Amino acid sequence: MDFDRYDHVRPIRWQGDRLDLLDQRLLPFTVEFVPCVDERAVASAIRDLVVRGAPAIGIAAAYGVVLAARAVDAASGAEAAEKIRAAIDELNASRPTAVNLMWAIARMRRVLAAAGGDWRADIEREARAIEAEDLAANRRMGVLGAELLAPASGVLTHCNTGSLATAGFGTALGVIRAGVALGRIERVFASETRPWLQGARLTVWELREDGIPATLIADGAGAHLMKSGAVQWLIVGADRICANGDVANKIGTYAHAIAAHHHGVKVMVVAPSSTVDMATATGAGIEIELRDPRELLYSGDRRVVAEGVAAWNPVFDVTPAGLVDGLVTERGVVEAPDAGKMAAVFGAVSSA
């Protein structure tokens, strides 16, 4: 398959002495990169949603560790790790829900702790490897997921899971890209994904850049769309997948999955194995990030809700494993995931 035909967007650019991040807050009308010259700038970019999407956050954080180490004089990786401990902790705490962030930071810590005199080159090489492995995984998952689809299928996706959220190609959007290329997908719908409108601002823009027609719907129109018979699959990504197959993803995913189950639409979750958290038994153990109520109360700088009204703004929800028909990672497809099937593919639940 000609992957490059449907893969034109790159949100993360390592420049050797800085990390350039495509500012996703400004899309689709302004394409601008934010230069990050130290780990504080990377952590801020993660918190402020300059960069978003679980895999992309992990990759950015890995390069943040490289930048933190540039200001350190140390004879070994272990010595450097001690000196930049606070910087690494800041990166690790920049978003609480996406497990890829903690996974990437832990991987960088291990390499740093074991490195000798050439530790700077070792950790830069590791950050580059994390990025390259994510792109390869996405392309494999795209093909695996597309093979589950019947020809001429209609699909609905939620939030943004494409190149903007990863090293490239995407997770759920990678399946859609591969499905279009292989002739399995005929109709693509994207829900707008309030309050940050990742579907409206990012997903349909990405698909347009790749020449893939897509139709935008309001979040609340998903059930009606499924009832119409226009879609056969709901295809989404994940920020964390638990040991029993429960899935944390962008707020609104759970509601879409309930509607899909009711209308006989299948649910596919697509994410790299780094998103699987076998140390968390069920979705009940996931910390759900709450963001500033202002994101609901304002549109840009203009308040659109009456004064005195409160707002509750969870960023993620948890879809129970029982609503998932297929979990696709680079390791293969887990159909109707449960604790036993997850352990068989990803190992036993950790006691840590």
CA distance 30 to 94: 25
CA distance 8 to 205: 12
Is residue 101 within 8 Å of 165, Cβ to Cβ? Answer: no
Both structure tokens of 348: 């036993």
Catalytic site residue from 210, 239, 246, 277 = 239
What is the 3-class SS of the chain, one letter each residue? CCHHHHCCCCCEEECCCCEEEECCCCCCCCCCEEEECCHHHHHHHHHCCCCCCHHHHHHHHHHHHHHHHCCCCCCCHHHHHHHCHHHHHHHHCCCCCCHHHHHHHHHHHHHHHHCCCCHHHHHHHHHHHHHHHHHHHHHHHHHHHHCCCCCCEEEEECCCCCHHHCCCCCCHHHHHHHHHHCCCEEEEEEECCCCCCHHHHHHHHHHHHCCCCCEEECHHHHHHHHHHCCCCEEEECCCEEECCCCEEEECCHHHHHHHHHHHCCEEEEECCHHHEECCCCCHHHCCCCECCCHHHHEECCEECCCCCCCCCCECEEEECHHHCCEEEECCEEEECCCHHHHHHHHCCCCCC
Report in angstroms the alpha-carbon separations of 69 from 22, 29, 119: 23, 35, 9
Q: What φ, ψ does residue 190 adopt, rounded to 5°?
A: -130, 130
- Is 239 one of the catalytic residues? yes
Catalytically active residues, by annotation: 239
